[in-house]
Amino acid sequence: MMKSPVRLLAIAAAATALAGCSLTPEIVKPQPPVAEQFPQHAAAQSQRPAVDIGWREFFTDPRLQQLIETALANNRDLRTAALNIEQARALYNVQRADVLPTINGTANASRARTPGALSASGRPLLTDVYQVGLGISAFELDFFGRVRALNQAALASYLATEEAQRVAQISLVSETAKAFLAELAAAEQLVLAQRTLAGRQQGYELAKQRFDVGASSALDLRLSETLVESARVSVLQLQRQRAQAHNALVLLVGAPIGELAPGNDLSSQQLITDIPAGLPSDLLTNRPDIRAAEQRLRASYANIGVARAAFFPRISLTAGYGTASTQLSNLFSAGSSSWNFTPQLTVPLFDWGRNRSNLQLAEVRRDLTVTDYEKTIQTAFREVADALVARGTLEDQVEAQRRVRVAEVERLNLAQQRFKNGVSSSLDVLDAERELFTAEQTLVQTRLLRLTNAIDVYRSLGGGLKVQ
């Protein structure tokens, strides 16, 4: 006879301990489908990997640091990623609870009337029943690992969601910095365009005066006017680009931000540009998107174990222990104990191919996650390789473009001197002004490319999670 609920718990615990069989296949991670070395690139002087460099150390501009900090606190996409983690954690905790039996306390009272025609005494009979006890309801004895496989799949999905949140943080840090630099570049180009417009307007006034006194042709005047209007178009375009860059930055930060401080330009931004690339195999541990793909792979293997277990019997246990009495005052009296023990066996017989199809579906999904895992590695390899190749050329490109600008300044000075001395026409001066403006704008764009490339190297190697 069952004398206490401790025995019921002992039976459930023993059954759980016997459930040692697992049908989940062993996880086989494919070899990284990339080369063992990154393509040839410029050697880095620093020995610190990107994952060890905090974003505050990488981005030294105080204004940018404040924007990134605000973005990490307010960005809605990052907030959604954090809530997805909470959701995945709750789902995992729900699934994990199925590994152990659920014990419920029960209490009920009932009254029934039996008509006289059915009672032994021939008179109507009123019966009262009071019950109090503990019960285990439909606890599955996990002999074939189905519940544990579900738990493993839920855990892997939760961990993948955590890694996805880290991916979102890295992306947010880098995109905020890029938007900040884009606004700086647009502001710097706008200043150049406004200065060029003012200079060309003065040149147009001089050309008009010369035309009025017959010292120059209508062609010179119209060309000067064309340059003025071209500069005006550039000013309007850059005003729009700066406003749009500011709006993009506000969206990333998730809160209103003030205008950029005057005098803050791209040349004042100092980023670490010599981060070592390491080996492609390092990406497997440094990049959270690859780690997330690996967790999804683990979840797919666990789901195969769930599908395999569906071919085998499922054994569940319902049990209870308590006291019962027809009188409330005698509910806890001696001899009022009651118990029940109801094991249930469910054996799949005819499911018309449902279980087999579910297993095939789980295996196909496993193959899809393998492909996704390999593609994630390949994408990460390409991002790093592209960033490293660009890093090897952009430094030289900035220097070459700076020399182009210096040469155009000298050309404009010589053209102006020749024009004053009557050696050349105003067309040479106007052409030199146009080329100088183009060289200055291109220099700003090239500096922006160099800075964004440094951010790409930092992000693609897994940097942006640490603060300091």
Report, in angstroms and rounded to the nearest whole number, the Rg of the chain calculated over CA atoms: 38
| Digit-coded pLDDT (tens) for 368-418 | 999 999 999 999 999 999 999 998 889 899 999 999 999 999 998 998 888
User: pLDDT confidence of 444, banded at 50, 70, 90?
Assistant: very high
The pLDDT of residue 273 is 81
| Number of other residues whose CB lies within 10 A of the CB of residue 135 | 19
The pLDDT of residue 267 is 81
* Residue 294 within any structural domain of the chain: yes
Residues 6+ apart with CB under 8 A from 109: 128, 129, 130, 131, 328
* Residue 448 within any structural domain of the chain: yes
Backbone φ, ψ for residue 142 (5° rounding): -85, 65
- Which three-class secondary structure state does DSSP give residue 255? coil
The pLDDT of residue 454 is 93
User: pLDDT confidence of 288, banded at 50, 70, 90?
Assistant: very high
The pLDDT of residue 375 is 95
| Digit-coded pLDDT (tens) for 43-60 | 555 678 899 999 999 999
* Residue 130 within any structural domain of the chain: no
Q: How far apart are CA 424 and CA 417, in angstroms?
A: 9
| Digit-coded pLDDT (tens) for 36-45 | 888 765 555 5
| Digit-coded pLDDT (tens) for 5-15 | 455 445 445 54
Distances (CA, A) of 332 to 107, 124, 130, 200, 321: 13, 28, 10, 103, 13
Which domain covers residue 368, as residue numbers?
31-99+142-312+351-460
Evaluate if pTM is beyond 0.85: no
User: pLDDT confidence of 305, banded at 50, 70, 90?
Assistant: very high
| Digit-coded pLDDT (tens) for 119-133 | 777 788 888 888 888
- What is the pLDDT averaged over residues 231-249? 93
CATH of the domain at 56: 1.20.1600.10
Output the average pLDDT for the chain: 86
- Report which of residues 2 and 293 the model is more confident about: 293
* Residue 346 within any structural domain of the chain: no
Find out whether 106 and 331 touch, Cβ atoms under 8 Å: no
* Residue 282 within any structural domain of the chain: yes
Q: How many domains does the chain have?
A: 1
Distances (CA, A) of 39 to 42, 280, 325, 381: 10, 10, 83, 10
| Digit-coded pLDDT (tens) for 327-368 | 777 777 777 788 888 888 888 888 889 999 999 999 999 999
Residue where the block lists tokens 């500011």: 246
Q: Check whether 301 has a pLDDT greater than 70.
A: yes
* Residue 453 within any structural domain of the chain: yes
* Residue 278 within any structural domain of the chain: yes
Q: Check whether 216 has a pLDDT greater than 80.
A: no
* Residue 183 within any structural domain of the chain: yes
Q: How far apart are CA 412 and CA 406, in angstroms?
A: 10
- Which amino acid, residue 270? Q
